[in-house]
Amino acid sequence: MNVLLTPLTAGTLPLPNRLVMAPMTRSRASGGLVTGLTAEYYAQRAGAGLIITEGTQPCVIGQGYIDTPGLHTPEQAAAWRVVTDAVHSRGGRIFVQLMHSGRIGHPSLYPDGSRPLAPSAIPSGEKLYTPDGLLDHPEPREMTLADIARAIDDFVASARLAMEAGFDGVELHGASGYLIHQFLAGNTNRRTDAYGGPIANRLRFAVEVARAVGDAIGPERVGIRLSPGSTLNGIRESDTELLYPELIRALVPAGLAYVHISEFGTRDITKVIRAEWPGTLILNPHPAGDAPATAADGVEALRDDVADAISLGQLWLANPDLPERIAAGGPFTAADPASFYGGDHRGYTDYPTSAEA
């Protein structure tokens, strides 16, 4: 397991180990504001090589779930500053994941009751969980060229706020069926303009966002998360094997800090991306299914040289001192699914370290 504990550099940021805390939605940000409890949660896990925060909306219309945090107002940036200061005070490093949900949204989330935006007016077929029950995602409004330009500007403005809030960088969420992924996939992008149709057009939005954010805050502070072959949120890719190598080749000149792959039983495409991407590659390893990734999965990926660092989710959630536990060979606490989303400190900041246990 010691291979997970060796140092690495992502962009220009030195990481003390290769254990990345994966982004995990926790739905504890009422009104879009993180709290002191959020600061405690992330600071407890400052031993990670890199923390990537939960998905954070870069604009009002980018919100996809209740009680998720935003980063598009000075008040939100000030709240996040408490989090980054807490993490840095314990020697940690933290990127914020900027997540525009696109069609995975609902009018009830937006003050003006507008419909969510998407590349094309195709509903997800999924539902939004609310305190009042499940609500169907509506048919989204197809984005105009002005909407696309505004969305890119929103990512840039949010990234700049992230720097003011003290983050070490930002991760662009291009995975799991959210807006960037919706532009990539043929079943959610039926456009006939420069942003739809052939692969070169469908990847245009992802590349333009990455370049614009990199130009604004420095590409060495920008990563992107991708999930080749994922079917989350109604996504269906018909050309995964062609799409992602072409996307990676288009991203190489942007000089990003890293590419972060959320594997979906697709080790073959992971290997292809590894061969195409010359920089740091972070992998959330799921070579044969969707069970929570383990430290052993990470060791295998590093030894097979399909990744430089490993992101883990549930292990970090329930084991705030994960590097120490790996060094000692365990034991590992199991996460409680009942407390994943919403609630208070229970299942959030009350998981003990091994010493406390």
Category of 24 on φ-ψ map: left (φ > 0), alpha (ψ -120 to 50) or beta: beta
In sequence order, which residues have a C-beta less than 8 Å from that of residue 98 and are 6 or more positions away? Answer: 55, 56, 57, 58, 71, 155, 158, 159, 162, 170, 171, 172, 173
Q: How are beta strands 141-142 and 169-173 bridged, if at all?
A: unpaired
Contact 52, 92 (CB under 8 A): no
Residue-level length of the chain: 357
| Tokens of residue 153, six digits | 């500007």
Taking each helix axis from N to C end, the angle separating 240-251 and 204-217, rounded to the nearest 10 degrees, works out to 30
Whether 75 contacts 33, CB under 8 Å: yes
Q: How many CA atoms within 13 Å lie on the side-chain side of 247?
A: 35
Out of 41, 42, 65, 178, the active site residue is: 178
| Cβ-based neighbours of 12, under 8 Å, separated by 6 or more | 220, 257
Task: Give the angle subtended at the CA of 290 by the CAs of 284 and 293, to the nearest 5°.
Answer: 40
Q: Report how far apart the first and last C-alpha atoms of the chain are (Å, whole number).
A: 22
Q: How crowded is the C-beta side of 117, counted as CA atoms within 13 Å? A: 19
Query: What residues contact residue 157 under an 8 Å CB cut-off, 6+ apart?
Result: 58, 72
Question: Is 178 among the residues known to form the active site?
Answer: yes
- Residues known to be catalytic: 178
